[in-house]
Amino acid sequence: MNNQFAAFIDDLKGTHGKNLASVILYGSAAAGDFVPKQSDYNLLIALHEITPKDLRNAHSCLREWAKMGHPVPIYFTVNELQTAADVFPIEFHQMERARKVLYGTDVLAGLNISDNFLRHQTEYELRSKLIQLRRAYIPASASVEGLKNLMSQSFSSFASLFRAVLLLHNVEPPRTKREVVALTAQTLEIDGKIFEKIINIRENNFMPALDEVSANQLFADYMAQIEAVIGAVDKVGKS
């Protein structure tokens, strides 16, 4: 990936020139928790100012980056990173804890992240993803492979949100998803073995083969534990 990063940054420098302030890798790849064919290389691009022309000019290099199978980076101005930290506490906490500066200055250093809306955003994101999970289950339930793919692909988003769940319970999140999931289960006193099974599916680790009955049961248990996490978040600050 070093060659791909270097080539992409050269393209960004050619596109944005002195307006380019920083390029930062964040998430699982920066945390040492990357799973090939499952995880993404998430990039933050910070410009001093963003106009429609800046975004329009970026089309060519971003198109080539996307052709390699990578998600389109997110764009912020340097000033926005400070003013938006109270609106997106989940995302900024994730960036703050697992990042690698690929170019320019560390624009996330010393970020003042407000947690005033952390509980609301966490519950909103969890509930939204649970609704999506239920919807996706309908076509996925037609096959064991479909269920395995749904559980492994959906779990990354939930595991990322578990970091916010830990923060809400005044627990410092570890770096890797496996550690975060285990600590969340311990903190909330729920069945972490269900999540471990899905992590093993996601990482292609050995586990007993699933048939139609056991795959559907695992999904039911998975959904039940997600609902338990949401219930715990909903209670934060209400007692």
pLDDT bucket at 206, cuts 50 / 70 / 90? low
Mean pLDDT of the chain: 90
pLDDT bucket at 1, cuts 50 / 70 / 90? confident
Q: Are the CB atoms for 147 and 215 separated by under 8 Å?
A: yes
Tell me: pLDDT of 239 over 70.
no
**Residue environment code for 104-143, b if the CB has 16+ CB neighbours within 10 A, otherwise e:** beebbeeeebeeeebbebbbebbeebbeebeeebeebeee
Burial of 53 from C-beta contacts in 10 A (0-12 / 13-18 / 19+): exposed
At 92 the pLDDT is 85
User: What tens digit of pLDDT does each residue of 51-105 get?
Assistant: 999 999 999 999 988 888 888 999 999 999 888 877 888 888 888 888 899 999 9
At 203 the pLDDT is 83
Please tell me whether residue 207 adopts helix, strand or coil conformation. coil
Over residues 26-46, the mean pLDDT reads 75
At 91 the pLDDT is 84
Q: Are the CB atoms for 162 and 181 separated by under 8 Å?
A: yes
Q: What is the DSSP letter of 237?
A: T
At 121 the pLDDT is 92
List, in sequence order, every residue forming a beta bridge with 47; answer none if it has no partner: 20, 77
Provide the percentage of residues in the chain whose pLDDT is more than 90: 64
φ, ψ for residue 166, nearest 5 deg: -65, -40
Map tokens 């960004």 to a residue.
Answer: 12
Joined together, the tokens standing for residue 137 give 């289950």
Joined together, the tokens standing for residue 89 give 């506490």
Which strand ranges, in their side-by-side order, compose the sheet holding 74-77?
74-77, 42-47, 20-26, 99-104
Joined together, the tokens standing for residue 217 give 């049961």
Tell me: pLDDT of 115 over 90.
no
Full set of structural domains in the chain with CATH: 2-104 (3.30.460.10), 118-235 (1.20.120)
Q: Are the CB atoms for 74 and 49 separated by under 8 Å?
A: no
